[in-house]
Structure 1
Amino acid sequence: MNVLLVGINHTTAPVGVRERLAFSETGLPVALQRLLAGGSVSEAVIVSTCNRVEVIVVPSLPTAEAVEAVTTFLCDYHDVPAGQIRPYLYVHQSSAAVRHVLRVAASLDSMIVGESQILGQIKRAYALAAAANTVGRHLHRLFERAFAVAKRVRTETGIGAHAVSLGSVSVELAHKVFDHLTDKVLLLIGAGEMAELAAKCFFEAGVNSLFVANRTLAHAQHLADCFNGGGRALGLDELPARLHEADIVVASTGATTYHITPAMVRAALDRRRYRPLLLFDLSVPRTIAPDVAVLDNAFVFDLDDLQRVIAANQRERRREAERAEAIVEAETVAFMTEADRLDIGPTVAALRERLTDICAAEFERHRKRLGPLTPEQEAAMRQFLLEGIVNKTLHPLILGLREAARQGSELVDLRRAFALDSVSLKTDAVAETDAANPHEEPGSQRLYR
């Protein structure tokens, strides 16, 4: 299967280069149609995320020319000089391209191995290309297989089971302290991006009650309003009086003094009747005094604690990734084997039909020279002699076709040599025979359907 992939990602190009080649979702249909209009490819899908831009195509030209055409398309579409992006591009062809697509869908090529967002992004890219009519049978089969492989990796490995972000690790630890989170109250100290990401993780895990404490009350209210209106804003001076209402505290400020002290937590625990209080300090410098950790029923985790959990989880993901890589490799081999059979099938069928027509035409041309034959003899000659000639002629050609397909070579030359894509044309052999034997019955039978 001759698939070509040209792209850049977070491992080959800095964000300043990636953002220059990024496609907007609204602009993708036009970009895809423009790529096909150039005539260098017959099918195309473009995957554009914050970490990668990849153009997956079925080329209509030899590989080197198709790579140059796709590169030129990227440069022209984004008005970027080729010299500024060529050093960052990678190219995969045939089985390497298939393997890469499967790895990306299975999140093995992601910045955070095992993350789930990339599969949705690839599905969206495929849907946009299908809607733009730039997907044919080859890329349809490839992406359907990619989606199935991604699902298999998720099902058969634990690649996504171990949290590796600060927010998701915090939720994982919260589940170890509390039986469930649906009735728990989350208190954010700070209203920045890190606080918002943590809140999203907790709300996705079932928390639905939120306080946001911040130096600027308006910023706190804005963040609180982002979560279904279920949040309430507090001033930092309200923390001592309201801390006992929280079950989980996430602090992420830029303050140089402690906003949470042992005395505050001790008082809160008294009012909570010593129900557990879970505190995450994502700040540098720290917002929660280290001595809080010695209090009974106060569970404190700072950035170093969370990073140690993340490191352990990443090791687990790497072990699971090895299992996932084996799945991808097996699926790549299986897909290419199936693709080889499917790719040469139409060519073999057309070639068999063409050779059968040639043999039949030549038999008719020379039938008179064979003398009288019974119907049974004539039928036997047609069935066994002509079919045998076709089969023996086809055998080495089929072996060559299979090898060409495995290597990703195109079958265009063979189809052109036998005029397999033409209609109602005489073969050169018959035409030459007509010219050389003007007194014989001309080979006017249409050989090509």
Structure 2
Amino acid sequence: MHIIVAGLSHKTAPVEVRETVTFPEQILSDALHMLTGYPSINEAVILSTCNRMEIYVVANDPDKGKDDVIRFISDYHSLERDKLEKYLYFREGKNAILHLFRVASSLDSMVIGEAQILGQVKTAYNAAFEAEATSTVMNRLFRHGFSAGKRVRTETEIGESAVSISYAAVELAKKVFESLSGRTVMLIGAGEMIELTATHLLSNGVSNVIVTNRTYERAESLARKYNGVAVRFNDFVDQMVHADIVISSTGAPHYVVTKDHVSFVMQKRKNKPIFFIDIAVPRDIDPSAAKIYNVFAYDIDDLDSVVQTNLEERKKAATIAEEIVEHEVLSFSSWLATLEVAPTIASLRRMAEEIRQKELEKHLRKLPNLSEAELNTVNALTSAIINKLLHQPIVKAKEYSTRKDGYLYIESLKVLFNIEDEEEDEEPEGASAFVSKPEASFKINR
């Protein structure tokens, strides 16, 4: 049994490559059924986002598993294998577990600490679960990964600070106003950044949008997108009186909002606070307007300074997060080791020996006159019975463990004999982690 992840991301492949291997939600079930039909693949989960496509599998052979995953991607998307392979990365075993936990904790994201990825991982797992493409290992692996992601979110401040210009603008707006609920934003211009900032403001409570642009039709189009109101460019100063937040990005070579404009607006607003976000280069808003009482104005450099400060804070939080993830990886690895046949057999023998010892001690107390030779005979007899009873289950466990889904038989053995998982501080390594067959010896205190 081998856990493998194969994928490509923003780190290894350009967008024109990533867009050729996407798995939209509506085709996931079909893709998963095809993937688990390959000879070496037992379980599978496909994670497909704008920045990454990753396939997590449980395979009975690592080399065959990797080969089957490459064949699957090539076959499903009709891609040439040699062109695909150069963009793929592979992780196996503990490194694959670590990778998933880092992904779920947003430590492998383009923006460290971004909040969306954990939900995307959950969606991918749920789709695989519904398609019956997961079983014992993947179910436990992903649920443990969710736990790791949740711990990172709750025990660190990795997602607390804004690390994009648009998010920084929202963060600053929240400092100006006690609440953004019910506030009105005016958009001057219609670029991508201005739209993104407006979207974040609306998601944080802003309810009214006024849009102006030198091309009135463009203003109308953007206003419809936000269920807002379009105003003609010549009238925007009069309408600015109703705005609590003003975002400007026009590309004009001169100030679009002058100090006189702002003085007029503040007089009409009776000095109620107003927040300007100038993301244009050259600047749209006269910086001297910030000298007016209750006028708060920030340009692109101010916002970038906030972003850089917050990035440093996230890096500090990421160091703590990495320690949490490492601990969770060790915890899962300890459980995974119990699915191997050797430790399960050792646990079974140990359990049987403990039962034999307790029962023998209990009954020998009722036979105080047995000689040492008779005690040894009874001891040998009970040991022989235990060994004969366990012989066939152990032989079959070893035999079935080599099959494609052999770990499922080991898990069944644990359930039938009520063998509980043992929590260990460190991942077992080699034979030293296995418990040897108990000695068939017995001593009773007379």
Classify the TM-score, shorter chain.
0.7 to 0.9
Kindly provide the CA deviation profile for residues 350-394 of structure 1, in whole angstroms up to 9, marking residues without a partner as x. Answer: 9869x99xxxxxxxxxxxxxxxxxx999865431245479999x9
1:4-19 alignment, distance < 5 Å: 4-19=4-19
Report the secondary structure of 2:209's partner residue.
strand
**Cα distance between partner residues in 2 of 1:420 and 1:318:** 42
Q: Displacement of 1:218 after TM fit? A: 3.1
Q: Displacement of 1:222 after TM fit? A: 2.9
Kindly provide the CA deviation profile for residues 279-333 of structure 1, in whole angstroms up to 9, marking residues without a partner as x. Answer: 0011223222333233332221111111110000000000001010000000000
**Cα distance between partner residues in 2 of 1:9 and 1:182:** 37
Show the counterpart of 2:151.
152
**Cα distance between partner residues in 2 of 1:83 and 1:148:** 37
Show the counterpart of 1:34.
34
Conserved? CA contact 2:47–2:124, under 8 Å = yes
Conserved? CA contact 1:352–1:390, under 8 Å = no
Q: Partner letter of residue 382 of structure 1?
A: L
**Cα distance between partner residues in 1 of 2:336 and 2:47:** 22
Alignment of 1:253 onto 2:250: yes
**Cα distance between partner residues in 1 of 2:160 and 2:404:** 50
**Cα distance between partner residues in 2 of 1:269 and 1:326:** 51
1:66-105 alignment, distance < 5 Å: 66-105=65-104
Alignment of 1:59 onto 2:59: yes
Report the secondary structure of 1:3's partner residue.
strand
- Stretch deviating more after TM superposition (343-352 or 160-169): 343-352
Count how many residue pairs are aligned between Structure 1 and Structure 2. 384
Report the secondary structure of 1:53's partner residue.
strand
The unaligned stretches of length 5 or more in structure 2 are 354-373, 412-446
Show the counterpart of 1:127.
126
Report the secondary structure of 2:36's partner residue.
helix
Report the secondary structure of 2:25's partner residue.
coil
Q: Partner letter of residue 285 of structure 1?
A: P
**Cα distance between partner residues in 2 of 1:299 and 1:415:** 64
**Cα distance between partner residues in 2 of 1:270 and 1:218:** 31
**Cα distance between partner residues in 1 of 2:306 and 2:16:** 31
Show the counterpart of 1:205.
204
Q: Partner letter of residue 196 of structure 1?
A: E
Q: Partner letter of residue 288 of structure 2?
A: D
**Cα distance between partner residues in 2 of 1:415 and 1:215:** 66
Show the counterpart of 2:417.
none
Change (3 A) 1:132 1:263: same
Conserved? CA contact 1:347–1:415, under 8 Å = no
Show the counterpart of 1:425.
none
Question: Normalising to structure 1: TM-score of the pair?
Answer: 0.78
Q: Partner letter of residue 412 of structure 1?
A: T
The sequence identity of aligned pairs, in percent, is 39
Conserved? CA contact 2:257–2:284, under 8 Å = yes
Show the counterpart of 2:370.
none
- Stretch deviating more after TM superposition (376-385 or 253-262): 376-385
Report the secondary structure of 1:249's partner residue.
strand
- Stretch deviating more after TM superposition (147-156 or 176-185): 176-185
Alignment of 1:114 onto 2:113: yes
Over aligned residues, Cα RMSD in angstroms? 3.3
Q: Displacement of 1:260 after TM fit? A: 1.0
- Stretch deviating more after TM superposition (71-80 or 117-126): 71-80
- Stretch deviating more after TM superposition (195-204 or 332-341): 195-204
**Cα distance between partner residues in 1 of 2:156 and 2:119:** 19
Show the counterpart of 1:164.
163
Q: Displacement of 1:194 after TM fit? A: 2.1
Q: Displacement of 1:135 after TM fit? A: 0.8
Show the counterpart of 1:337.
334
Change (3 A) 1:127 1:70: same
**Cα distance between partner residues in 1 of 2:18 and 2:231:** 40
Q: Partner letter of residue 329 of structure 2?
A: T
Q: Displacement of 1:413 after TM fit? A: 7.9
Q: Displacement of 1:344 after TM fit? A: 3.6
Change (3 A) 1:204 1:420: closer
Conserved? CA contact 1:103–1:109, under 8 Å = yes
Kindly provide the CA deviation profile for residues 123-169 of structure 1, in whole angstroms up to 9, marking residues without a partner as x. Answer: 11111111111011110001111111111111100000001122211
**Cα distance between partner residues in 1 of 2:404 and 2:77:** 38
- Stretch deviating more after TM superposition (148-157 or 236-245): 236-245
Alignment of 1:412 onto 2:402: yes
**Cα distance between partner residues in 2 of 1:217 and 1:344:** 72
Change (3 A) 1:212 1:413: closer
The partner residue of 1:244 within 237, 241, 246 is 241
Kindly provide the CA deviation profile for residues 37-89 of structure 1, in whole angstroms up to 9, marking residues without a partner as x. Answer: 122201000001111110000013x2112111111211121122122222221
Report the secondary structure of 1:181's partner residue.
coil
Show the counterpart of 2:24.
24
**Cα distance between partner residues in 2 of 1:414 and 1:103:** 28
- Stretch deviating more after TM superposition (131-140 or 274-283): 274-283
Conserved? CA contact 1:5–1:91, under 8 Å = yes
1:170-189 alignment, distance < 5 Å: 170-189=169-188
Q: Displacement of 1:94 after TM fit? A: 1.0
Q: Partner letter of residue 223 of structure 1?
A: L
Question: Normalising to structure 2: TM-score of the pair?
Answer: 0.79
**Cα distance between partner residues in 1 of 2:245 and 2:331:** 49
Q: Partner letter of residue 169 of structure 2?
A: S
**Cα distance between partner residues in 1 of 2:167 and 2:382:** 71
**Cα distance between partner residues in 2 of 1:270 and 1:391:** 91
The partner residue of 1:313 within 310, 315, 319 is 310
Report the secondary structure of 1:74's partner residue.
helix
Q: Displacement of 1:414 after TM fit? A: 13
**Cα distance between partner residues in 2 of 1:186 and 1:411:** 64
Conserved? CA contact 2:337–2:343, under 8 Å = no
Conserved? CA contact 1:114–1:317, under 8 Å = yes
Q: Partner letter of residue 333 of structure 2?
A: M
Q: Partner letter of residue 272 of structure 1?
A: R
**Cα distance between partner residues in 2 of 1:384 and 1:206:** 73
1:350-365 alignment, distance < 5 Å: none
